[in-house]
Amino acid sequence: MDNLLVKSAKVAFRNSPFHGKEVDILVENGIIVKIAPHIGVEHDQLLVVDASGQYVAPGFFDMNANFGEPGLETKEDILSGCAAAVAGGFTGVAVHPNTQPPVHSRSEVALIVNRAKTLPVDVFPIGAISKKRQGEELAELYDMKLAGAVAFGDGDRPVQQAGLMSRALLYAKGFDGVIVSYPEDASVAGGAKMNEGVTSTYLGMKGNPNLAEELMVARDLHLAEYNEAAIHFTTISTAESVNLIRNAKASGIRVTCDVAAHHLIMTDELVVGFDSNYKVNPPLRTDTDVMALRKGLEDGTIDAIVSQHTPHEVEFKQVEFQVAAEGIIGLQTVLPLALEAGLSVDLIVDKLAVGPRRILGLPIPEFQEQAMANFILLDTGRRWRFDQRTNRSKSSNSPLLGKELTGQVTMAVNKRQMVNTQH
Question: Count of H helices and E strands in the chain?
Answer: 13, 18
Averages of pLDDT over runs of 10 residues in the chain (423 residues) are: 90 95 96 95 84 98 96 96 98 97 96 96 98 96 97 97 98 96 96 94 95 98 98 98 98 98 98 96 98 98 98 95 96 98 98 98 97 97 96 97 97 95 77
Q: What is the pLDDT of residue 423?
A: 63
The span from the CA of 266 to the CA of 194, in Å, is 13
Q: What is the pLDDT of residue 45?
A: 81
Class assignment of domain 3-56+368-420?
A: mainly beta
Q: What is the pLDDT of residue 44?
A: 72
Class assignment of domain 59-360?
A: alpha beta
Handedness of CA 173, 174, 180, 184 (dihedral sign): negative
If we measure between CA atoms, which residue out of 403, 419, 354 comes closest to residue 15?
A: 354
Domain coordinates in residue numbering, the chain: 3-56+368-420, 59-360
- 352 forms bridges with which residues in the sheet? none
- 65 forms bridges with which residues in the sheet? 95, 309
Say what the pTM is. 0.96
**Buried/exposed 359-396: b ≥16 CB within 10 Å, e otherwise:** bbeeebbbbeeeeebbbbbbbbebebebeeebbbbbbb
Type of residue numbered 407: G
The span from the CA of 380 to the CA of 406, in Å, is 7
